Homo-oligomer: A and B are copies of this chain.
Amino acid sequence: MAATRHRPLAVPAVRLRGGALGRWQRLNAEATIPHCIAQVESSGVLDNFRRIVGESDAAHRGFVFADSDLYKTIEAIAWETARSGERRHEAWLDDVIALVARVQEPDGYVHTWIQGVHPDKRFAEQEWTHEMYVAGHLIQAAVALARASGRTDLLDIARRFADLLDDLFGPGRQDAICGHPEIETALVELARFTGEERYLALAAKMIDLRGRGVLPAGAFGPQYFQDHVPVREATTAIGHAVRQLYLNAGVTDLLLEADAPGLRAAMDAQWASVHERKMYLTGAFGARHRDEAFGDDYELPSERAYAETCATVADIHWTWRMLLADGAAGPARYAETIEREVHNALAAAVDASGTRFFYANPLQQRPDRHSEENAPRQRTSWYSCACCPPNVARTVAQLGAYVASATDGALWIHQLADAEIDLPAPLGSGTVRVCTEYPVDGRVDIEVAGDVAAGAVLRVRVPSWSSASSLEAADGAHPREADGYATVPLAPGAHYRLELDLTPRFTRAHHRVDALRGALAVERGPLVYCVEQADLPSTLAVDDLVLLPADPVSGEDGTLRLRCAEAAEPDDLYRSGQPVAARGEHEVTAIPFATWGNRAPGAMRVWLPTP
């Protein structure tokens, strides 16, 4: 492993007290998690378990992978417990874990669709049955619960299932992989927590088997589930975006734990493919509805962005692991990517009440758009494929995990969040307190208190877009260094201040992005902005706005004011001749993309045409 190997902090060591992320975590605890608990009951997920053991007469409901909704909800509760120390849902956990235990077969197998609908298909059609995918979410929930509160009943269940997988598919035994990656990252985490090398070896085998034609190809071809080329040769992200990104998280997890030649270069190439040629400005992924897939390089249509919420969640998982693995892009790039994702695509996936969700997160809504099953015009409370809502819940509950890391002699602050951070043992027993209303406000105050190891330093990421880039201290300014971080002594009683430049800025896309040619986006700090019809007079259509070359003005409420004209062309779809000048001048409100769609449904766009 590399010399600068970053270590994550324990979940309770980072407490998001206030600020944007802390408030979101409280909403998550008070609204989103209870909502998920109610929905796994009302959508039939729990009945799917009960019917296996004769406790319900209901028919199986939902997709083959519906069990994972329960496991992700449990995982969210676990991280929320780890964060807050509160055990609000203990009785519910007792009930549902006991239910899962009753449903588990003696050999460790548990998957309600196979057990209750098609027992004949057990491990027979893994290209679509999601059995190991579901096992992966069971394992992640179980480890999270054990880490969070020490309870091991779910872990016992998960280990029995993992042991069955190892017995069947481990090294030297039958070859199998799952159509939807997820088991790989879960097995590495299980190996970490239990110290059991077998799980690591099983994950490694599955990663080695991928791209060797183990799965029969379906209608979308083998690249749909990344089985078209071995992982070490797959330098381009392709196919179903969530599957590619979960796979990459698992591969990078393996890298972190075991020597695996060839995987590091593949992951660096994958990360560049995804983030330099296939990422939406909002930190979202997947340009195609058809197969929920990445587009080709630079294929990034705004209105047809699939941009699945789960793909952003998956990329946060993976990108954090790339940071820990000392990937080639460097920690500042990884941290800034996570920041972009959390504050834009992930934040937009849930409404202000915490109980309504987007599955797809397009960057443009045309006024006449018809709703589609997974891409409704407004957030809904649940989906027939409900992967996204509990994925948001478990991610928000563990946002603290992405705030800081430790290397030998240094605490690194990657996310500028209002937080209290306990130093990990080698650095002392003291605390670093970060006070900020970032990203709405640019001031970040950092104080060090308590006992600190001699010579330890604090490294604070200073965002690349800020012209003001020094940490101010009593002894002077500590500038952002080449790697994107400023370095200051980790000294008890020290106080540092960062005053970021949040002047709104225009952003343009690479010339090969056809969908964004001749248009600019507006960003302020890490926030991407958009214009919504609800802020315009009905006589002025969002799709006719033309951005005039005037600096955006910040409003008091986090909004911006833009100067726009109105396109006034003939109606012809195609015509010869010169462009017609836009007319008029309007002051137009732009709002953070994260907050769009909380009013009446209507047109919205992130990218605005220039004259």
Contact = CB atoms under 8 A, between A and B. Distances in A.
Contacts of A506: 576
Contacts of A609: 511, 517
Given A296-B368, A299-B303, A276 B515 contact: no
A436 interface: no
A375 B511 CA distance: 25
B373 A221 contact: yes
Interface stretch (A44-52, A195-203, A564-572): A564-572
B515 A301 contact: yes
Contacts of A508: 574-577, 579
A512 B576 contact: no
A118 interface: no
A524 interface: no
A573 interface: yes
Interface in A257-283: 275-277, 279, 281
Nearest to A569: B511
B511 A514 contact: no
A370 B220 CA distance: 11
A543 interface: yes
Given A296-B366, A511-B544, A544-B511, A571 B290 contact: no
Interface string A501-528: 0000111111111110111010000000
A571 B370 CA distance: 36
A526 to B, nearest CB: 13
B221 A509 contact: no
Contacts of A521: 574
A576 B505 contact: yes
A205 interface: no
A226 interface: no
Contacts of A364: 514
A304 interface: yes
Given A221-B370, A288-B304, A289-B288, A572 B515 contact: no
A465 interface: yes
Contacts of A368: 236, 296-297
A567 B513 CA distance: 12
Interface in A172-230: 219-221, 223
Contact of A303 (B514, B543, B567, B571): B514
Residue with the highest number of chain B CB atoms closer than 10 Å, among A236, A368, A579: A368
Interface in A513-567: 513-515, 517-519, 521, 543-544, 546, 567
Contacts of A505: 576
Contacts of A238: 370
Contact of A223 (B299, B370, B569): B370
A221 B375 CA distance: 12
A574 B508 CA distance: 6
Given A511-B567, A517-B518, A609-B517, A219 B366 contact: no
B298 A301 contact: no
Contacts of A511: 544, 546, 567, 569, 579, 609
Contact of A573 (B369, B509, B517): B509
A579 B513 CA distance: 14
A221 B372 contact: yes
B573 A275 contact: yes
A302 interface: yes
A572 B289 contact: no
Given A221-B373, A373-B219, A573 B299 contact: no
Given A276-B571, A281-B574, 10 more contacts: A296-B369, A297-B368, A299-B303, A301-B301, A302-B514, A506-B576, A508-B577, A511-B567, A513-B573, A517-B517
Interface of A: 219-221, 223, 236, 238, 275-277, 279, 281, 288-290, 295-299, 301-304, 364, 366, 368-373, 465, 505-515, 517-519, 521, 543-544, 546, 567, 569, 571-577, 579, 607, 609
7 contacts: A220-B372, A236-B368, A507-B574, A508-B574, A510-B572, A511-B544, A518-B518
In the complex, the 5 A-B pairs of residues with the closest C-beta atoms, listed nearest first: A518-B518, A517-B518, A290-B290, A289-B290, A296-B366
